Amino acid sequence: MEAKENGASENAGRVMDGPTNPMVTPLLTDLYQFTMAYAYWKAGKHNERAVFDLYFRKNPFGGEFTVFAGLEECIKFIANFNLTEEEISFICESLPGSCEEGFFNYLREVDCSDVEVYAISEGTVVFPKVPLLRVEGPIAVVQLLETPLLNLVNFASLVATNAARHRLVAGKSKMLLEFGLRRAQGPDGAIGASKYCYIGGFDATSNVAAGRLFRIPLRGTHSHAFVSSFMSPDEILERSMCSSDGSSTCEDFVSLVQSWLNKIQWSKSLSGIFGETNQSELAAFMSYALAFPNNFLALVDTYDVMRSGVPNFCAVALALSDLGYKAVGIRLDSGDLAYLSSEARKIFNAVEKEFGVPGFGKMSITASNDLNEETLDALNKQGHEVDCFGIGTYLVTCYAQAALGCVFKLVEINNQPRIKLSEDVSKVSMPCKKRCYRLYGKEGYSLVDILTGENEPCPQVGERILCRHPFNESKRAYVVPKRVEVLLKCYWPGKSDKVREELPALKDIRDHCIKQLEQMRPDHMRRLNPTPYKVSVSAKLYDFIHFLWLNEAPVGELQ
Amino acid sequence: MEAKENGASENAGRVMDGPTNPMVTPLLTDLYQFTMAYAYWKAGKHNERAVFDLYFRKNPFGGEFTVFAGLEECIKFIANFNLTEEEISFICESLPGSCEEGFFNYLREVDCSDVEVYAISEGTVVFPKVPLLRVEGPIAVVQLLETPLLNLVNFASLVATNAARHRLVAGKSKMLLEFGLRRAQGPDGAIGASKYCYIGGFDATSNVAAGRLFRIPLRGTHSHAFVSSFMSPDEILERSMCSSDGSSTCEDFVSLVQSWLNKIQWSKSLSGIFGETNQSELAAFMSYALAFPNNFLALVDTYDVMRSGVPNFCAVALALSDLGYKAVGIRLDSGDLAYLSSEARKIFNAVEKEFGVPGFGKMSITASNDLNEETLDALNKQGHEVDCFGIGTYLVTCYAQAALGCVFKLVEINNQPRIKLSEDVSKVSMPCKKRCYRLYGKEGYSLVDILTGENEPCPQVGERILCRHPFNESKRAYVVPKRVEVLLKCYWPGKSDKVREELPALKDIRDHCIKQLEQMRPDHMRRLNPTPYKVSVSAKLYDFIHFLWLNEAPVGELQ
């Protein structure tokens, strides 16, 4: 893909590649980040050291967990952050003419070499109010990063969470395919969805570009149009097929299939089920099998699943079996998937028995019609024989909730903690540069996340720790952790001498995510009325938040 | 932006630039398009001439209209369609090893020089079942185009429609700003939203990258973090401000503002309203005014809109006025926007009167907190004083309905019409290569769209035309059009000698869209229970569809 290659060549000599999408540049930000940068610069305030937290306030999809994703793209963006001359002249023409030239000279020097980023590992299960990223640096620079970081994290985490939710409903044994490219919100809405659904537990995608960029396994066979583009078996001219082991050649695969179709139609155990099947469908299946004898998977619902698609499939699959090939299975794209999959399975079992073809009953059944969490759940309740789900629209557009509301809040400037108040308590920000820990109980489940001030000691295993609700004074609990996990790690050290965490491979992020999901207590993860996971603050941080709150809040006057 | 520049230079010598996003390549398709291409090639069928229609089945957002968008990107994609060696080797490694080398040689030659694309003009108001694009060419090539064309049209049309709906509720006189970048579905979910919201009637965006790519007007001032990053006016060191005409200099703008704040606090007409205002907010406003004396717009809800934000704003605006500058206004980002905007307006009017500052009452009020169609409608019903709306999340992610269901259906192959049946009548495809017209009545409104076979004569003005519902035999009407508009125009002539329609400038597409929306009969456009617009077929096409339908549908057997 040109995009990626250009990105890579531009970055030659740099430590790290840029973001996947070359459109992710420092201009992918809100104009007000540049007007503010100018105002900071004009006030001589642009290099003041600020700390911002990126977090969300509410889990999506009515659930009680979120999968954090998008970090790799954020770090690649930060690593390559600087403005080209051409970008600077566009900013110059977009700001009022009164802006001083000195500012644009300043922009020429701007990069993230003095920015420090701490973050939770990508693929981790996360909760409201816990900082996913903590970004510290010169205030003007960090503000320029706000919008692109939010853009890169919001959808990534949303769609990874959606994928994880689909996986939880489908169960571990099912194959899950992401088929959303055509309905996604734009080209990289699609490419991003493919990447982050893979992290959230999907097995493969139909999106070739995503397969190439991220080495995600690809899946796909044929569409209804392929079936309707054929008229009848007469148009198949090249009919010979070599046997699987190369030892012989069947000169007329079409006749072989037709003889099988005949046997099926007259079979006793299937008696009376099948009449005339559709000939254009039969021709399409034969052509597909001639092209892919080892990968024959047929879409069986173009005309009529049980009267045409399934018998046509069985005839082709049996003919392939004669030549030593094993057909893969069928795909259902409409109708009652529970009923049709069960009926198809009965036929496969009957064919196995009647014609003595071992394994025929285990033929794979894929389903793919506007599926989502609810329909998967309904299918489970009805009982079905589907092995593999292809999920598109509802998955990749996050139809049930199309946005995650991550925010980026100033928590400290020049070592002074800052709080953003709101009449809505859930919108009050958590001041101070903070550390974050996850405390685990004796059963291996995580019990609570706790935020502390930067200078407080790390909670110790076996220690009795008071965990307080940040805004409700009556909610608090002592916890004696069996294990303490440091959540925020250094992914971009800036000028500090911290060691930078390596960005893991996509497969490792996926494995981490799957393991994380398994480690959660099941009642946090269930679809109906899940238990909220607790996020707490240390006693010291609690006191400080409330001191600051009282200090900042105006005292009302009732009139 | 590098992305665009690389795109352009790669295409040097070609007729047309590539798509905006360099990630839009021939690999941005479903794997099955390549497996089918192989099966077509293997069957010697790849060059058979096929016609596909791209259309949707249902208007989004519970409405009865859709704005068609995305065409320019589709045509730019088609114009530059070919596979690089590197892309071909990726396809080779993604297909089964048994695929023959000849296929990859074929792929090396594939382009769209023999593809013809007819389309409705971008920005046109469109309806279900009417082809937005009609794509004709060698079947293997046209199928490769299916997924990217759907991807480029689906979200573009969805978000343009969403923007148009927001404009209809807000009314013509309001300024509408798209603020969605941080919450959009990925980087070009955001860039696409900015482009297509502009087409749908928005006035500007906050997204700098979109402003640069498409020359969309940009807007933005400052955030809450800017306000909380200041402590008090003491930290403002550079306090001088030159007057607007350059004739004099105010040495201490901070003192000037503070004297105005004093006057406001002791004013008779505002008496008792204001006490102490927040000093960090005041410092932030003064700094912003010092940086942008001609563009002072203040976010007034960081602490308390009426007790702090508005009086602080008025003090700074009055000081600016002393120096000959006109402040722009305020932005409200929380709370009861109807109430707060009305209260702020009262203060502005009182200030105008008390201090004799002409125009102060007309100060612009922007509102921007999680707005959508419903909240705009509710604000209208309550009455408000907002001049300008900044709309983000709900607009750009199309939260109310996150996907449009465009499909791409085979309607003809080798001059043989094809129909796709379904138990759900709304999913039955309309066979045949078709022409599409819009018929207008005497009041200038469009009455009905009509689809005809390719070889039927064009409906004539004044002629009595029978328009039939495609699937309901009892629904039909005669129409005598006052004007007939040809909907499908040639945007990519392939090897035909048709003249190619030029791709209009973005501004012209936007003007066309706004004009189109004005031309619709209001009952089709209203939010509650809109009247469906009629889409019909000619008598001849009706008969043919039903002949084909009976021919293809299996006859059931009740048992």
More confident residue, A69 or B272: A69
CB contact under 8 A, B2 and A21: no
> B338 and B474, same structural domain?
no
CATH of the domain at A360: 3.20.20
DSSP letter assigned to residue A235: G
Residue A122 contacts residue A153 (beta carbons within 8 Å): no
| pLDDT at site B193 | 98
> A236 and A147, same structural domain?
no
Ordered DSSP codes for B117-173: EEEPPTT-EE-TTS-SEEEEEEHHHHHHHHHHHHHHHHHHHHHHHHHHHHHHHH-TT
Confidence of residue B272 (pLDDT cuts 50, 70, 90): low
Residue A242 contacts residue A321 (beta carbons within 8 Å): no
**Closest alpha carbon to B426 in B61, B125, B60, B129:** B129
A543 belongs to a structural domain: yes
Residue B11 confidence (pLDDT) above 50: no
Span B22-27, average pLDDT: 97
| pLDDT at site A400 | 97
A325 belongs to a structural domain: yes
Quote the mean pLDDT of chain A: 94
More confident residue, B425 or A259: A259
Span B27-38, average pLDDT: 98
More confident residue, A278 or B426: A278
Residue where one domain finishes, among candidates B329, B353, B386: B386
C-alpha B343/C-alpha B384 separation (Å) is 9
A174 belongs to a structural domain: no
Share of chain B above pLDDT 70, in %: 96
B247 belongs to a structural domain: yes
Amino acid at B301: D
Long-range contacts of B525-529 (CB under 8 A, 24+ apart): B525/B63, B525/B64, B525/B65, B525/B168, B527/B63, B527/B165, B527/B168, B527/B169, B527/B373, B527/B377
Residue A12 confidence (pLDDT) above 60: no
**Closest alpha carbon to B126 in B170, B81, B157:** B157
3-state secondary structure B395-454: HHCCCCCCCCCCEEEEEEECCEECCCCCCCHHHCCCCCCEEEEEEECCCCCEEEEEEEEC
Rg (alpha carbons) of chain A, rounded to whole number? 29
Span B116-130, average pLDDT: 98
> A381 and A434, same structural domain?
no
> A359 and A232, same structural domain?
yes
Chain B residue whose CA is closest to A10: B2
Residue A277 confidence (pLDDT) above 50: yes
Span A553-559, average pLDDT: 65
Residue where one domain finishes, among candidates B348, B363, B386: B386
> How far, in Å, are A16, A77, A196, B23, B81 from residue A7 at the CA level?
11, 11, 21, 11, 21
Phi, psi of B6 (to 5 degrees): -60, -45
Residue B33 confidence (pLDDT) above 60: yes
B537 belongs to a structural domain: yes
C-alpha A57/C-alpha A55 separation (Å) is 7
B439 belongs to a structural domain: yes
Residue B215 contacts residue B207 (beta carbons within 8 Å): no
Confidence of residue B423 (pLDDT cuts 50, 70, 90): confident
CATH of the domain at B484: 3.20.140.10
Please list, residue by residue across B112-124, b when 16 or more beta carbons sit within 10 angstroms of its beta carbon and e when fewer do: bebbbbbbbbbbb
> B422 and B356, same structural domain?
no
Residue A434 contacts residue A418 (beta carbons within 8 Å): no
Span B237-243, average pLDDT: 95
Chain A residue whose CA is closest to B48: A229
Least confident of A211-225, B219-233, B264-278: B264-278
DSSP letter assigned to residue A27: T
Span B165-178, average pLDDT: 97
Q: In Å, how far from its chain's centre is CA B251?
A: 48
Residue A181 confidence (pLDDT) above 70: yes
Residue A121 confidence (pLDDT) above 90: yes
Q: What is the pLDDT of residues B357-375, one digit of tens each?
A: 999 999 999 999 999 999 9
Residue where one domain finishes, among candidates A386, A420, A452: A386
> A348 and A462, same structural domain?
no
Q: Tell me the two tokens of residue B388.
A: 């300008």
Q: What is the pLDDT of residues A349-381, one digit of tens each?
A: 999 999 999 999 999 999 999 999 999 999 999
Q: How many CB atoms lie within 10 A of CB A84?
A: 15
Residue A480 contacts residue A465 (beta carbons within 8 Å): yes
Determine the residue among A182, A326, A372, A409 to mutate to test chain B binding: the one whose Cβ has the most chain B Cβ atoms within 10 Å.
Answer: A182
Least confident of A499-503, B214-218, B271-275, B397-401: B271-275
C-alpha A196/C-alpha B398 separation (Å) is 20
Q: A6 and chain B: CB distance < 8 Å anywhere?
A: yes
Least confident of A293-297, A539-543, B523-527, B545-549: B545-549
Determine the residue among A35, A285, A297 to mutate to test chain B binding: the one whose Cβ has the most chain B Cβ atoms within 10 Å.
Answer: A35
C-alpha B270/C-alpha B260 separation (Å) is 13
Chain A residue whose CA is closest to B212: A90
| pLDDT at site B556 | 64
Residue B98 contacts residue B149 (beta carbons within 8 Å): no
CB contact under 8 A, B91 and A402: no
| pLDDT at site A271 | 59
Confidence of residue A272 (pLDDT cuts 50, 70, 90): low
Q: What is the pLDDT of residues B310-354, one digit of tens each?
A: 999 999 999 999 999 999 999 999 999 999 999 999 999 999 999
Q: A558 and chain B: CB distance < 8 Å anywhere?
A: no
**Closest alpha carbon to A24 in B28, B206, B188:** B188
| pLDDT at site A9 | 37
Amino acid at A323: L
Spell out the residues 6+ positions from residue B302 whose beta carbon is closer than 8 angstroms to its own.
A420, B224, B227, B228, B278, B281, B309
Predicted ipTM of the assembly = 0.95
C-alpha B360/C-alpha B350 separation (Å) is 9
| pLDDT at site A343 | 96
| pLDDT at site B425 | 83
| pLDDT at site B552 | 79
B313-352 residues touching A, CB cutoff 8 A = 334-335
B205 belongs to a structural domain: no
Q: What is the dihedral of CA B503, B509, B512, B517, to 10 degrees?
A: 130
The whole domain housing B372 covers 221-386
> B461 and B378, same structural domain?
no
Least confident of A147-151, A391-395, A547-551: A547-551
**Closest alpha carbon to A37 in A114, A116, A91, A98:** A91
Number of independent structural domains in chain A: 2
Helix axes B337-355, B373-382, angle to 10 degrees: 50
Helix axes B2-10, A2-10, angle to 10 degrees: 120
Nearest to A221 among B35, B192, B235 (CB): B35
| pLDDT at site B6 | 39
Spell out the residues 6+ positions from residue B367 whose beta carbon is closer than 8 angstroms to its own.
B331, B332, B333, B337, B341, B379, B384, B386, B388, B389, B390
Q: B278 and chain A: CB distance < 8 Å anywhere?
A: yes
| pLDDT at site B4 | 41
Residue A410 confidence (pLDDT) above 60: yes
Chain B residue whose CA is closest to A207: B30
B175-214 residues touching A, CB cutoff 8 A = 179, 181-192, 206-209, 211-212
Q: B128 and chain A: CB distance < 8 Å anywhere?
A: no
Neighboring chain A residues of B220 at a CB cutoff of 8 Å: 30-35
Distance from CA of A448 to the nearest CA of B (A): 28
**Closest alpha carbon to B180 in A154, A129, A396:** A154
B65 belongs to a structural domain: yes
Span B191-199, average pLDDT: 98
> A248 and A140, same structural domain?
no
Residue A422 confidence (pLDDT) above 90: no
> A320 and A248, same structural domain?
yes
> B475 and B433, same structural domain?
yes
Count how many pairs of residues, chain A against chain B, have C-beta atoms within 8 Å: 414
> A129 and A79, same structural domain?
yes
Q: Where are the beta strands (DSSP E) in B158-224?
A: 175-178, 204-205
Residue B52 confidence (pLDDT) above 90: yes
Residue A524 confidence (pLDDT) above 60: yes
Residue B206 contacts residue B220 (beta carbons within 8 Å): yes
Residue A196 confidence (pLDDT) above 90: yes
Q: B421 and chain A: CB distance < 8 Å anywhere?
A: yes
C-alpha A126/C-alpha A143 separation (Å) is 24
Positive or negative torsion for Cα B533, B512, B370, B367 = negative
Residue A3 confidence (pLDDT) above 80: no
Span A422-438, average pLDDT: 90
Ordered DSSP codes for B442-487: TTS-EEEEEEEETTSPPP-TT--EEEE-SS-TT-EEEE--SEEEE-
Share of chain A above pLDDT 70, in %: 96
Neighboring chain A residues of B152 at a CB cutoff of 8 Å: 187
Residue B512 confidence (pLDDT) above 70: yes
**Closest alpha carbon to B409 in B434, B429, B424:** B429
Q: A409 and chain B: CB distance < 8 Å anywhere?
A: yes
Amino acid at A322: D
Residue A232 confidence (pLDDT) above 80: yes
> A424 and A354, same structural domain?
no
> How far, in Å, are A60, A322, A350 from residue A358 at the CA level?
46, 12, 11
CB contact under 8 A, A183 and B557: no
**Secondary structure (3-state) at B298:** strand
| pLDDT at site B426 | 83
| pLDDT at site B265 | 87
Residue A65 confidence (pLDDT) above 70: yes
Burial tier of B461 (Cβ tally within 10 Å: 0-12, 13-18, 19+): exposed
